Amino acid sequence: MSQSILNYGYTGMTPGANFVDTFTTTEYTLNGLEPETQHDIFIRSFCDEDWLSSWSPSATFTTQQGLGNGQPEANSHYTLRPNPASRSTTGLLKGTARNSINTIPHNKTSPLALSMPMIIAYQDTLMHLCPAKLRNTLQVPPHCTVIEDSELAHVFDLLTAGEGDIWVWIADNPRRLVEALRSRFRMVKAAGGLVTAPNGDCLMIEREGHWDLPKGMVERGETLQQAALREVTEETGIAAQPDPSLIIKTYHIYDKYGGWHLKQTSWYAMRSQRLQTRPQTEESISQAVWVPRQECLQRLQTSFASLRLVAQAALNSNTTAK
């Protein structure tokens, strides 16, 4: 389940006010609610961690009689959990308790606002897609070409021309961007890992003359982390153990296999005790080697633009194995 935001309070509240919390588990329990009182619940979700949905319509329920003197009710646990009967892309959350909570539409597939800047790479060029509301807080590098999202029809031509990095301000409603991406690219998902040995060395591969990190496509039924671990094993012969956190998600476009693709790659920190590698030569991997951490990050800095982002995130993150 992706990260979601829960908002609840007295009936008639405005979404975003009163109590707000985030959760990533399959259920969320409300405790210590005021007895005999109507409450509204709203939910919104991070979609692929780059988009934030709108608030769901409210669900209203009434708590039971309390213990007296305004104390919480005897059984005041109200749990929200996914409705297993729902197979729709919208998804539903249904409350289960002594008093049933109304069904809440879970708006995971209605992205209405960028939750953070997104960067799409093409070879050595980067395109920064940034919410317009951050215009006064983000500093645009002087070498970037600045474009408004009204010019999206031309922005990908500029990116593939490779004439320099691009900065695009996205309006509060980015549906135009979503439509532009879907109409122009086939979306694919991949996952990979930055693997660290006990002495701090990092695992790198050389593919077609370029230094890279092990990664590959996500197969049906796999989680992103499972795919990353499998790809590391297949491409290097190393059976790595995962660290809990994601380093970064990168996006890059390429014209291969009969058309343009937009690939999202999720990069995970990993560790391994085994040092003997076996490069997957049938995938054009000539080497799988351990190199000192700083050298690894320096090699990534001089590689493809998307790998530079991985190196920068690893340098600034505490999630990478030491």
| Per-domain residue ranges of the chain | 4-112, 116-184, 186-316
Q: Which CATH superfamily is domain 186-316 in?
A: Nucleoside Triphosphate Pyrophosphohydrolase (3.90.79.10)
pLDDT at position 79 is 57
pLDDT at position 154 is 82
pLDDT at position 223 is 86
d(CA 107, CA 189): 22
With a CB cutoff of 8 Å and minimum separation 6, the contacts of 10 are 18, 37, 38, 39, 40
Which of 38-52, 85-99, 180-194, 297-311 comes out lowest in average pLDDT?
Answer: 85-99
> Quick one: tokens of 197?
């040995």
pLDDT at position 69 is 41
Which of 40-44, 114-118, 276-280 comes out lowest in average pLDDT?
Answer: 114-118
pLDDT at position 121 is 92
pLDDT at position 234 is 96
Nearest to 175 by CA among 47, 322, 293, 19: 47
Judged against a pLDDT cut of 90, whether residue 95 lies above it is answered with no
Mean local confidence (pLDDT), 221-225? 87
Instruction: Name the band, by pLDDT with cuts 50, 70 and 90, for residue 235.
Output: very high
Terminal alpha carbon distance of the chain: 28
What is the bridge-based pairing of β-strands 202-207 and 104-105? unpaired
Mean pLDDT of the chain: 75
- Paired with 255 in beta bridges are 260
Mean local confidence (pLDDT), 167-183? 77
d(CA 210, CA 275): 22
d(CA 26, CA 77): 16
